[in-house]
Structure 1
Amino acid sequence: MPDELSKNQQRLIKNLIQSKKARIKNRCFIVEGTRNVGELLNSDYTIKLVAITKEFLVSNPDFIKLLYKKVPQGSIYQLKTDELDKLTDTVTPQGILAVAEFKKTDLKDVIHGDFLVIALDKVKDPGNTGTIIRIADAAAADAVIVGKGCVDIYNPKVVRAAMGSIFHVPVIESEDLAKTLKDLQAAGAAIVTTYLGATRFYFDVNYKRASVIIMGSEDEGVSKDIVGISDEIVKIPMPGKAESLNVAVSCGVIVFEAVKQRINS
């Protein structure tokens, strides 16, 4: 049987769930649920600890075997169901969570060939951000770049919404998104920016070349300085009465146009 999770460990988990400052200080984040922890186990992320309830231990024997195979000895702990309920903000906890270390990826590590990158400018909604990471994963994009002013990528709601994809696609945080985009331009990429005032449609652009697709904030769109350095400014045609689309939906529409063009080529 695993050791009991200590009060100090419970306090750490609570802080990591609630506070970006705590996540940065400890260089760790929380992964919740069977699917997400399963994806974590099969990734190259470093796992600090895994906490499970007795009910999870009894009802998931195959997963427990995998857990003991993948997680370092002495890093699996048990806690009571009511203790887990107090720690997490998940409505229906699945009886398992893990603490994983941050993983740093350098931009130069993802620039190769006709790379495809999604960049986010002040996208603040964690559900949208997590979904965009899933889109990037599904499209085999080389990276997601998150600019300053976006939601913390290690926010538990982002990690849950990404549904394991955060362990498949590099997510790079940029303190100066405009500079990062200029570096990508210098590496041969076309900067394709979504903008409501655009006159060109997204499907009229060539995505077979190295491309960076920029998605802006839900309220304000892409910053003017980013629009100013873009190679292509595009919009999605909307003949209906809706004024706009959810940023994750818009991202999916454009990214899979890039996928279609690349497959057809």
Structure 2
Amino acid sequence: MTDKNQIYGIRAVIEAIQANQPINKVYLQKGLKGDLFKELESTIRKNKISSSYVPAEKLNRLTEHNHQGVVANISSIGFQDFEPLLEGILEKNTAPLLLLLDQISDVRNFGAIIRTAECCGVDAIIVPKSGSAPLNDDAIKTSAGAAFNIPISKVDHLKDAIFYLQASGVKLVAATEKTNESIFDLDLKQPCAIIMGSEDRGINPSILKMVDNKAKLPMMGEIASLNVSVACGVFLYEVVRQRQL
């Protein structure tokens, strides 16, 4: 991680968060105390920034500078505000295709999904602020640069985004094994958003209760599931196939 992708120092990180910098994750030194450090912790929680407590040695490996017990990784790609982004998409496209990622945590899966989404003409990717893989150098590299070409929005809660999408006439389709309906049986020519779940837990049950359709892929082999980036590709290309008929 190069210096241009880092912010270090307690006050500097607080100001970066308050200025809505695209922060992927904040590393905090274990055992650190003080009023300013408490303010930083509060700011991180309030803005739902991903963080972890690590030994000082970890921070020393991240940067040679005087980090004061705090190092933040920032993305070279900015995130877009959800509501104005969606309004702009709906104005331009009568049948938009969106992708919601419910806590995809592996950066390479994230990058691969971004790459496939860009190839499939996805209008935007929406992720929650908490629990998502960072849009770091590894994710950007895995995306083969597609991350620079597709809008990505971070939201406080995916549920709020889902409510807004449904109110805007967008159908929500969840990729899950907890259904008997196949993705190949759905009408995906209308405005729709595909939801993919985390690698280990899938889509949150509370989100599954909100969607318009649940769909799965037929499995012919011994293994009961696909890698999430592969499954996402199949779902998105089924949308592409239907819309080209």
TM-score for both structures, normalised by structure 2 = 0.68
Deviation at 1:238, TM superposition (A): 0.3
What percent identity do the matched residue pairs reach?
30
**Structure 1 gap segments, 5+ residues each:** 1-9, 31-85, 88-98
Instruction: Give, in whole Å, the separation in 2 of the partners of 1:16 and 1:120.
Output: 27
CA RMSD in angstroms comes to 2.7
The residue that corresponds to 2:238 in the other structure is 257
The residue that corresponds to 1:79 in the other structure is none
Deviation at 1:11, TM superposition (A): 7.0
Instruction: Give, in whole Å, the separation in 1 of the partners of 2:15 and 2:132.
Output: 13
Deviation at 1:115, TM superposition (A): 0.5
Deviation at 1:118, TM superposition (A): 0.7
Does the Cα contact within 8 Å between 2:79 and 2:154 map onto a contact in 1? no
The 5 Å alignment of 1:39-118 reads 100=76, 102-105=78-81, 106-111=85-90, 112-118=93-99
**1:185 and 2:166 correspond:** yes
* 1:135 aligned residue (96, 104, 116): 116
Instruction: Give, in whole Å, the separation in 2 of the partners of 1:23 and 1:137.
Output: 33
Instruction: Give, in whole Å, the separation in 1 of the partners of 2:143 and 2:2.
Output: 25
The residue that corresponds to 2:47 in the other structure is none
The 5 Å alignment of 1:1-265 reads 12-13=3-4, 15=6, 25=17, 27=21, 100=76, 102-105=78-81, 106-111=85-90, 112-264=93-245
Q: Which amino acid aligns with 1:241?
A: E
Does the Cα contact within 8 Å between 1:16 and 1:28 map onto a contact in 2? no
Instruction: Give, in whole Å, the separation in 2 of the partners of 1:23 and 1:141.
Output: 33
Does the Cα contact within 8 Å between 2:103 and 2:130 map onto a contact in 1? yes
Structure 1 residue matching 2:132: 3-state secondary structure: coil
TM-score for both structures, normalised by structure 1 = 0.63
Q: Which amino acid aligns with 1:166?
A: A
Instruction: Give, in whole Å, the separation in 2 of the partners of 1:113 and 1:160.
Output: 32
Structure 1 residue matching 2:169: 3-state secondary structure: coil
Distance 1:24 1:201, change over 3 A: farther
CA deviation vs aligned residue, 1:183-225 (integer Å, no higher than 9, x gap) = 1111111100011111101111111000000000000000111
Deviation at 1:131, TM superposition (A): 0.8
Q: Which amino acid aligns with 1:137?
A: E
Instruction: Give, in whole Å, the separation in 2 of the partners of 1:225 and 1:22.
Output: 32
CA deviation vs aligned residue, 1:212-247 (integer Å, no higher than 9, x gap) = 000000000001111001111011110210121000
Q: Which moved more, 1:107-116 or 1:127-136?
A: 107-116
